[in-house]
Amino acid sequence: SLLAWAVGLLPFKDTFLTNSKTPQTGAANPGPEQSADLHALVSVLSGGMVGPGDGPGMANKTLITQTCMSDGNLLKPDHPALPIDAAWSTKRDPGGELLWTGTSLGTGDASWDFRYVLAAALERDYWLRPEDIHLPKSPE
């Protein structure tokens, strides 16, 4: 997603099965999907399309509707989820996936900034610092 975003594109995570309980007839990948909730979250945090790939009549409608607003518009951050800077360091890399993204709502004094962090399959403990997700340092 880092390269795609750098050249003005939104990444596409790929399709996933939303129904993780049973194998599916008619799906390109019959499954079952081991982590449907995680795949849905990663799709939303990518900022690109959400691609459920379930066979006919097999979709988990509840999970799919959690990826969008009631009017059908996809939930999207301001930029795709990116690895924290420490992922590029041999000293602080936690292993696994530690990504962040953000959304700003409103303008001026009525502006709110939100950060979202996804940690999956980390190989070791990691102390997340405000600067890891581009927040100002806390006063000492």
Band (10; pLDDT cuts 50, 70, 90): confident
> What is the DSSP code string of 20-46?
-SS--TTSSS----S-HHHHHHHHHHH
Q: What is the pTM of this model?
A: 0.83
Contacts of 77 (CB under 8 A, 6+ apart): 44, 45, 47, 101, 102, 103, 116
Question: Mean pLDDT for the chain?
Answer: 87
How far separated are the first and last CA of the chain, in Å rounded?
34
Mean pLDDT is lowest, of 70-74, 87-91, 97-101, 118-122, for: 87-91
User: pLDDT digit string (tens) for 27-53?
Assistant: 667 777 788 999 999 999 999 999 998
In angstroms, the CA 82 to CA 115 distance is 12
64-98 burial by CB neighbour count: b if 16+ within 10 A, else e? eeebeeeeeeeebbebbbbebebbeeeeebbeeeb
Give the whole-number percent of the chain exceeding pLDDT 70: 93
Answer yes or no: is pLDDT of 138 > 70: no
The vertex-25 CA angle with 23 and 30, nearest 5°, equals 45
Answer yes or no: is pLDDT of 17 > 70: yes
Q: Quick one: pLDDT at residue 3? A: 83
Other CB atoms within 10 A of residue 104 CB = 11
Q: Quick one: pLDDT at residue 76? A: 93
Over residues 56-79, the mean pLDDT reads: 93
Give the whole-number percent of the chain exceeding pLDDT 90: 43
**Structure tokens belonging to residue 9:** 């594109």
